[in-house]
Amino acid sequence: MSEQCYLGVDLGAESGRVVAGLFDGETVRLEELHRFSNGPVRVGGTLRWNVLGLWQGIQQGLAAAASRFGDSIQSIGVDTWGVDYVLMTEQDELLGLPWHYRDDRTTGMLASACERVPREEIFAATGLQFMEINTLYQLLAMKRDHPELLDRARRLLLIPDYFHWLLCGSRVVEFTNATTTQCFDPSRNGWASELLGRFELPAEIFPEVVPPGTSLGRLRDDVARAAGLGRIEVVAPATHDTGSAVAAVPTDRSGSASWTYISSGTWSLMGAEVPAAVTGPETLEVNATNEGGIDGTFRLLKNIMGLWLVQECRRAFARDGRDVDYETLTRQASESPAFVSLVDPDDPAFLKPDCMPTAIRDFCRRTGQPEPSDDAALVRCALQSLALKYRDVLEQIESLTGERSEVIHVVGGGSQNQLLNQFTADACGRPVVAGPVEATALGNVLVQARAAGALGSLADIRTVVANSCGPTTVTPTGSSHWDEARSRFADLCN
């Protein structure tokens, strides 16, 4: 078949882009058409998202796509991070600028919520990991601070769904992102209306939930005309970026928990693909989560702070006049002494510190360890600590599924970090298959291709990914030093 073009809008915490996925029936290749910056904007002491700036970047990407690929473009779909949302009036006007999940307003809100509704009951209704950034706690903070906005709201859309509304006027929320909110009941496959009622949150603002691959309508006429496009289909991919990334794991074991994935980037999301949500007391005890996947599957996983630690260290180094790229930092870290200091990556001190190097040194000092002496030592500390956290989470996931994971698939931008891949293989004692780097964009465009009838199943999607992107395998070295470090690490996390 001739190449068909599917446009993916992939929005991350630092940047957004419009990519073309060019599919010939057996392989897919990506071409980046337009990239634009993203990040929190400080407004009146709060952190917000500049959604209108992102929309401008998307429109510029559409124009570039029309110029480059014209009539071969079949559809477009948007993926982003989870939990954040917009509120809209009956007339589809925005109610305020959407908050960024790292805004301070949710501090203490989780504990306050659990005083009102027991933690066990919240988990039984949602199956989701407890994190203060979850939509539920953001809405409770809004009810406390800005009740007038909730009173006026007639619709809540998550961030990717808002961009789908801008593209075609759809007013629905896609399943994989709905499951990140802690407002969705996986056992009933719908919003947790009873739980929302107990918190006196307006359940009626939550719209219909649709599965990934749903056609949402055609591109608005004015948007198409401005870009020079036809009125192409707008298709919901797995709109949560991790949902798209996991769809693009190049495994031939779909539907089996015999493999584990790590979607590695600002956050590390580590888990297994399971046919139904796992919501027993053991899941609550380890604070694991059930997020939606393709074909009604669930991603039984844990959110880990991820390469945010290294990203924020690099940002601090640059502020101090040492603007070094990630490749150089990683090489320097590989030459730094091993296991001098370790941190718990998920310690609350690392969620939104003013200065990450200071936060890491403070943690080491509080726990009686040497403070990392230089930039390389800080990065090595972060990477080794992440690998040890992966080992803990691997054991928890295996315990919940009852299956041993034979291989760990690392996808996303973090799969390029060969040092972290080796650390992960050594710490976990399992081979690591690294790649594809562009898992999220690949999953996005291939779900669109499946919606168009060009592919038949999730297994087909993964076969295309494997055909298109040769992953690399890293084997464990068998070093006993990781077992010794693990006992130290366990003490730090308790």
Instruction: Name the residue among 460, 426, 428 with its Cα closest to residue 443.
Output: 460
CB atoms within 10 A of CB 446: 29
What's the per-residue H, E or C state across 251-292? CCCCCCCCEEEEEECCCEEEEEEECCCCCCHHHHHCCCEEEE
Stretch (H or E) spanning 361: helix 356-366
| Backbone φ, ψ for residue 143 (5° rounding) | -60, -35
Structure tokens at 491: 């003490």
DSSP state of 150: H
Q: Are 375 and 322 in contact (CB under 8 A)?
A: yes
* C-alpha span between 59 and 376 (Å, rounded): 41
Structure tokens at 144: 């406390």
> Is 354 designated active site?
no
Tell me the residue length of the chain. Answer: 494
Instruction: Name the residue among 454, 413, 444, 439 with its Cα closest to residue 164.
Output: 444
Instruction: Name the residue among 205, 279, 269 with its Cα closest to residue 241.
Output: 269
Q: Are 206 and 157 in contact (CB under 8 A)?
A: no
**CB neighbours of 40 closer than 8 A, spacing ≥ 6?**
47, 48, 49, 100, 102, 103
**CB neighbours of 14 closer than 8 A, spacing ≥ 6?**
37, 38, 39, 266, 311
Look up residue 224 and give its amino acid: A
Instruction: Name the residue among 438, 435, 333 with its Cα closest to residue 386.
Output: 333
Q: Are 331 and 318 in contact (CB under 8 A)?
A: no
Q: Are 299 and 449 in contact (CB under 8 A)?
A: no
* C-alpha span between 384 and 283 (Å, rounded): 26
Tokens 């305020």: give the residue: 96
* C-alpha span between 278 and 273 (Å, rounded): 11
Tokens 């071969």: give the residue: 72
Give the gyration radius of the chain's Cα atoms: 22
Catalytic residue among 79, 84, 185, 241: 241
Q: For the chain, what is the total number of helices (H) and then of strands (E)?
A: 19, 21
What's the per-residue H, E or C state across 20-49? EEEECCCCEEEEEEEEEECCCEEECCEEEC
Residues annotated catalytic, as ranges:
241
